[in-house]
Each structure stands twice: as C-alpha cells, then as structure tokens.
Amino acid sequence: MDLALFPNEPMPNELHPFIELRSADRHFPSTPGDIFVMVKSMRMDLNYQASKYILSMFKPIANGIQDIQGYKYLDDRDLIDFVDGTENPKNIERAKAVIIDSEPYIGGSYLIVQQYIDKQEKWDSLTTEYQEGVIERTKMDDIEIADDKKKPYAHNVKSKVEIDGGEIKMLRQNRPFGNAMEHGTMFIGFAKTANVMETSLKQMIEPGEKGHHDKLLDFVTAKTGTLYFVPPQSFLDEMSS
C-alpha cells in the first residue's frame, strides 16, 4: 500500500524513483527507500544509539531496509585509498550548489545515495601510476592533474557536469563502510537539482561521444541507488509543531 506522509503538500518537482542505468556490463540499480537518515558524530557508539531510537520511532510507519555504519578513514580517504571530497564546493558556493532557491521548497535539497562495493583485489593489482590515472589526482598528496593531461576515462573528467563551459557543482559526503572482507563507498550526494547528479551518473556509465566510460566503474559495483528529497528546515519545524 502506498502511504504518503504529506498528501496535501506539493510534490517536489524532481522527486521520482532513482533512474536505473545500464551500459555494457555496468549497472546502476534503482532500489527502494522512502526515508533516509544520516547520523553523524565522532562516536560510533552514540551513532548506533541514536539510530536505534530513530528506527523505533519510525516503526509505526516504516520498516528498516538498511543500516550502514560508515566511518572516517585515514585523512578523509575512501577505501580505494584516495582522498575523497576535495573538489566539493565551499562556503557560499556550497550553499548555492545544494540549496533550492525557488518555491515551493526554498531551503530544501535533493539527495542521491548509492552503495558501492569495491573490487579491492582488482584495484590493488594496479600500479599507483595507473590508479592515479583513473582518479586524475595524486594518491599520496591529493594534487589534481592538469586538465590537458587527464585521461578521457578519468573519474574527475567523467563525473564533472558542465553547461556552456561552466561547472555545475554537487556536494559529496561519501563515507567508507565495511571490513577487510567486504567494503566500499556510500556515495552520498546533495544538489539543488536532482538533474546534476543524474547527468553525472549518465556521463560516468555511458561511453559518450569520446567512447570512454568512467574507469572507476571497472573497480566498484553499485548495489543500491535511491533518490530522496531533503525538506527545508522550516517544513520540518512546521510538521513538528
């Protein structure tokens, strides 16, 4: 049975099921999920406790589907050992990239969450030089390679969204998760239009005009994919009053 939590409120313009994508042997599945809660603190035990209470609070209206404990790894690296998040917009540019600035949901945002499992052995069998070509940043000190030297299949070439030569940013709060046997990255991306992230995903998975998909996808497998709407704080305040 479909249950709308806010049946009398307008639907956010771009809220729809995550768009499944396939190209050759690459797949971005679309998986169910209505409510996403991200609990962040410096203490995993408190995160667990908060999550336990939040889950029981939602019990009357929702079943838990997945609880992933992410963590900070070394100096903000993902588990393929590269620093992740460096090119995120900062300060006012961050707000401009993420926060919806038009009615009816000024202050809201869109969120895409995907769980990726690393193909660690395959990744580890590459030389550092090759890995750096996949990301097009240096591994040790996280320096971006010059644009004219980047490989056309590099992750930071294929994921970057440009319109008329101008870059359209998103905010990524990726979190590593898992253990030595199975692990990967939770891609957690926010933007003021879902379209920015959808365009990025399409560019990554499809070969495009130049015939190259994002090489990073040869070393990770997407297991889930869900699009959410993040309501503005004012909306949540109103609901709770």
SS3 (DSSP) at 85: coil
First to last CA, the chain: 28
Peptide bond into 104 cis (omega under 30): yes
The CB-of-155 to ligand HEM minimum distance in angstroms stands at 5
Name the pairing type of β-strands 171-172 and 166-168. Answer: unpaired
To the query of whether residue 84 is one of the catalytic residues in this protein, the response is: yes
- 18 contributes a contact to ligand HEM by CB under 6 A: no
Tell me if 51 sits within 8 A of 224, measured CB to CB.
no
Count of residues that bind ligand HEM according to CB under 6 A: 25
Name the segment binding ligand HEM (CB under 6 A); options: 6-14, 31-39, 45-53, 194-202. 194-202
- Which runs of E-coded beta strand occur in the chain? 21-23, 26-28, 109-118, 161-163, 166-168, 171-172, 175-178, 183-191, 220-222, 226-230
| 188 binding ligand HEM? (CB under 6 A) | no
Task: Fill in the amino acid letter for 150.
Answer: K
Determine, following the binding rule CB under 6 A, whether residue 187 of this chain makes contact with ligand HEM.
yes
Specify the residue, 100 or 194, whose C-beta has the smaller distance to ligand HEM.
194
List binders of ligand HEM among 154-173 (CB under 6 A).
155-156, 159-160, 170, 172
CA dist., res. 236 & res. 234, Å (int) = 5
* Residues in 127-156 that interact with ligand HEM by CB under 6 A: 135, 137, 155-156
Candidates 2-10, 30-38, 40-48, 80-88: pick the segment binding ligand HEM (CB under 6 A).
Answer: 80-88
From the list 25, 45, 67, 84, the catalytic residue is 84
In the region spanning residues 195 to 234, those forming contacts with ligand HEM, defined by CB under 6 A, are 197, 200-201, 220
From the list 21, 80, 99, 100, which residue makes contact with ligand HEM (rule: CB under 6 A)? 80
Question: Smallest gap, in angstroms, from Cβ of residue 120 to ligand HEM?
Answer: 12
Shortest approach of ligand HEM to residue 108 CB, angstroms?
Answer: 19
Q: Phi and psi at residue 27, in whole multiples of 5°?
A: -145, 130
**Furthest CA-CA distance within the chain:** 57
- In whole angstroms, give the CA distance from residue 139 to residue 131: 8
For residue 31, the SS3 value is coil
Question: Which residues are the active-site residues?
Answer: 84
Task: Kindly list the residues in this chain that would bind ligand HEM in the complex (CB under 6 A).
Answer: 78, 80, 82-87, 114, 116, 135, 137, 155-156, 159-160, 170, 172, 185, 187, 189, 197, 200-201, 220
